[in-house]
C-alpha cells in the first residue's frame, strides 16, 4: 500500500468523510481548509440524505421552466445581470446536458452513486459513532395543482424503475403526513427512504473531532497551487498525494495544474427559525417554488433555490426573505420571527454529476467535488470511492461518468 502522506483540501462534509475513510484504511492523512471544519455549505444545507434524487438538474423540464423563472429575480432560478456573460459558457454546457440521451446517461450514473452512497452511510456512521444523529422521517413533495402533479410523473416513473419506494397522496390524505399545509396543495408524494441528519453543522464538527481523536490534524491554511509532489499552501509546501474536496473553490486549484473544469457556484439562501416555529413532521419540498423546509436541531430551516452568481458578488438576502414569505403562505401556522439568514456556495458541474477520480495527467491528485445540492447525500459514497482508489481497490462502480477529464 502507498504510505505517502495524503493532504485532503477541504474540511466540509465530503473532505472529512474522505479523511476518516482514509484514516480507517491506515493511511497517513491530514486536512487543510481556509476557514476550518463546517465553514461553508456543509453547515447551512437542509440536512438531507436525499437518496431518491437521481434526476439531474439539467433536463428538458428545467429548460422549459427556466425562462419563466429567470424573469423573476427572487424566483427559484436567478442569474444576476452582471454575472450573465461570465456564466454563459457554463449555461451552454448545461443546455447540452439537458438533451434526452445525456439525461438518461446522467440518471443511470446518479442512480449508481446514490445506491453506493446509501449502502456506505451506515458503515460510515458506525465508524464515526454518529448514528444517533440520523432521522428516518422521509420526505413529502407537494404540488399545487393536478397539472403540476402530472408533470412530475415521468420523474417518479424513473425512480420506480430504479427501485425507489414512494406513495402518491391526494386531498385529505396529505394531512396524515403533514398537518397544517395550505388547502391549495392538492397532491403530494411521500418518499420513505429519504433520511436526514439532526444538524449538518454539528455532524461535520463531530466528524472533525473523530478525525482528530484518531490522530489526524486539521490545519487552517489556504491551498495556493498544485505542484510536483504535493500542494503549496500559504504556510508552505505539503508533500504527498492530494484530494481536492474544497467545494466551490476546487476548480481554481485544479487550474493551477493546467486542468480547466467548468464548475459554477449555486448560491443557496436559507433562514433558520428557532424552536417552536411549527410542528414539522418531515422535510417538505415545494418543487414548484424551488425551496424546502426541514428540521435542523430544534428549529426549522427554510431554504433552497438557485442563484448562479459566482463567489464574489455580495449576497442578496431578499431571496431568503422571498422563500420565507412563500413558506408562510404554504404553512399558515408558521411563525417566521427570530430567524437567522445564511448564504452559501454549492459547487455544481453542468451535467449535475460530481468530479470523482484522478485529475488528468496527475495520478497523485484525486478530485471529489461538484456535488451540487447532494454533497451530504453522496459524502459517504464519495469517501468510499476515494479510499478504494487510493488503496488500489475496485470501487465497484463505473467512474467514467464522473471522470474529471470528461469535459
**Whole-Å CA distances, 379 to 355, 367, 405:** 13, 13, 21
CB half-sphere exposure, 42, CA atoms < 13 A: 30
* Overall number of domains in the chain: 1
Is 322 inside any structural domain? no
Q: What is the pLDDT of residues 62-95, one digit of tens each?
A: 888 877 777 677 888 888 888 989 999 999 999 9
Return left, alpha or beta for 347; rule: phi > 0 is left, psi -120 to 50 is alpha, else beta: beta
Confirm whether 228 is domain-assigned. yes
- Please, are residues 316 and 268 in contact by the beta-carbon 8 Å criterion? no
pLDDT in tens, 287-333: 988 899 999 999 999 998 889 899 999 999 999 999 999 999 999 99
Residue 123 lies in a domain: yes
Rounded-to-integer distance, Cα 253 and Cα 75, Å: 32
pLDDT at residue number 71: 66
Question: Which residue bears the cell 461553508?
Answer: 40
Q: Cβ(299)–Cβ(339) under 8 Å?
A: no
Provide the pLDDT for residue 2.
67
Residue 274 lies in a domain: no
Would you say residue 115 lies in a domain? yes
Residue 238 domain flag: yes
Alpha-carbon torsion (276, 376, 353, 16), positive or negative: positive
Is 206 domain-assigned? yes
CATH code where residue 204 lies: 3.50.50.60
Q: Which residues of the chain have pLDDT under 50?
A: none
- Report if residue 255 sits inside a domain: yes
In the beta sheet, which residues pair with residue 279? Answer: none
Nearest CA among 372, 381, 319 for reference residue 346: 372
Full DSSP string of 280-301: --SEEEETTTTEEEEEETTEEE
Range of the domain at 16: 1-59+99-135+194-262+349-407
Amino acid at each position: 500500500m502507498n504510505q505517502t502522506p495524503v493532504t485532503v483540501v477541504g474540511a466540509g462534509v465530503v473532505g472529512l468523510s474522505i479523511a476518516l475513510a482514509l484514516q480507517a484504511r491506515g493511511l497517513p492523512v491530514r486536512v487543510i481548509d481556509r476557514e476550518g471544519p463546517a465553514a461553508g455549505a456543509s453547515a447551512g444545507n437542509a440536512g438531507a440524505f436525499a437518496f431518491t434524487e437521481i434526476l439531474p438538474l439539467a433536463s428538458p423540464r428545467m429548460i422549459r421552466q427556466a425562462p419563466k423563472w429567470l424573469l423573476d429575480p427572487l424566483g427559484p432560478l436567478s442569474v444576476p445581470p452582471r454575472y450573465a456573460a461570465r456564466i454563459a459558457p457554463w449555461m451552454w454546457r448545461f443546455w447540452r446536458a439537458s438533451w434526452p440521451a445525456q439525461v438518461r446517461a446522467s440518471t443511470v450514473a446518479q442512480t449508481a452513486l446514490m445506491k453506493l452512497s446509501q449502502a456506505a452511510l451506515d458503515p460510515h456512521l458506525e465508524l464515526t459513532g454518529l448514528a444517533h444523529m440520523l432521522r428516518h422521517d422521509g420526505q413529502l413533495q407537494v404540488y399545487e395543482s393536478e397539472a403540476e402533479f402530472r408533470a412530475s410523473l415521468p420523474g417518479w416513473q424513473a425512480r420506480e424503475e430504479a427501485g425507489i419506494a414512494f406513495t402518491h397522496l391526494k386531498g385529505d390524505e396529505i394531512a396524515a403526513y403533514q398537518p397544517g399545509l395550505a388547502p391549495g396543495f392538492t397532491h403530494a408524494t411521500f418518499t420513505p427512504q429519504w433520511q436526514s441528519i439532526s444538524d449538518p453543522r454539528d455532524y461535520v464538527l463531530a466528524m472533525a473531532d473523530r478525525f482528530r481523536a484518531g490522530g489526524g490534524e486539521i490545519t487552517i491554511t489556504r491551498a495556493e497551487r498544485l505542484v510536483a509532489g504535493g500542494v503549496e499552501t500559504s504556510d508552505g509546501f505539503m508533500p504527498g498525494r492530494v484530494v481536492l474536496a474544497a467545494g466551490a473553490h476546487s476548480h481554481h486549484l485544479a487550474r493551477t495544474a493546467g486542468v480547466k473544469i467548468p464548475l459554477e457556484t449555486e448560491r443557496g439562501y436559507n433562514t433558520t427559525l428557532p424552536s417552536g416555529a411549527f410542528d414539522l413532521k418531515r422535510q417538505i419540498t415545494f418543487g414548484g417554488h424551488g425551496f424546502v423546509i426541514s428540521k435542523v436541531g430544534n428549529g426549522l430551516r427554510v431554504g433552497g433555490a438557485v442563484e448562479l452568481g459566482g463567489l464574489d458578488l455580495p449576497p442578496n438576502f431578499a431571496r431568503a426573505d422571498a422563500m420565507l414569505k412563500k413558506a408562510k403562505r404554504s404553512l399558515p401556522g408558521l411563525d417566521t420571527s427570530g430567524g437567522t439568514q445564511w448564504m452559501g456556495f454549492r459547487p455544481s458541474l453542468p451535467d449535475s454529476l460530481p468530479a470523482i477520480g484522478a485529475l488528468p495527467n496527475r495520478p497523485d491528485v484525486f478530485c471529489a467535488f461538484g456535488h451540487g445540492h447532494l454533497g451530504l447525500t453522496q459524502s459517504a459514497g464519495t469517501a468510499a470511492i476515494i479510499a478504494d482508489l487510493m488503496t488500489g481497490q475496485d470501487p465497484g462502480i463505473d467512474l467514467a461518468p464522473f471522470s474529471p477529464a470528461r469535459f
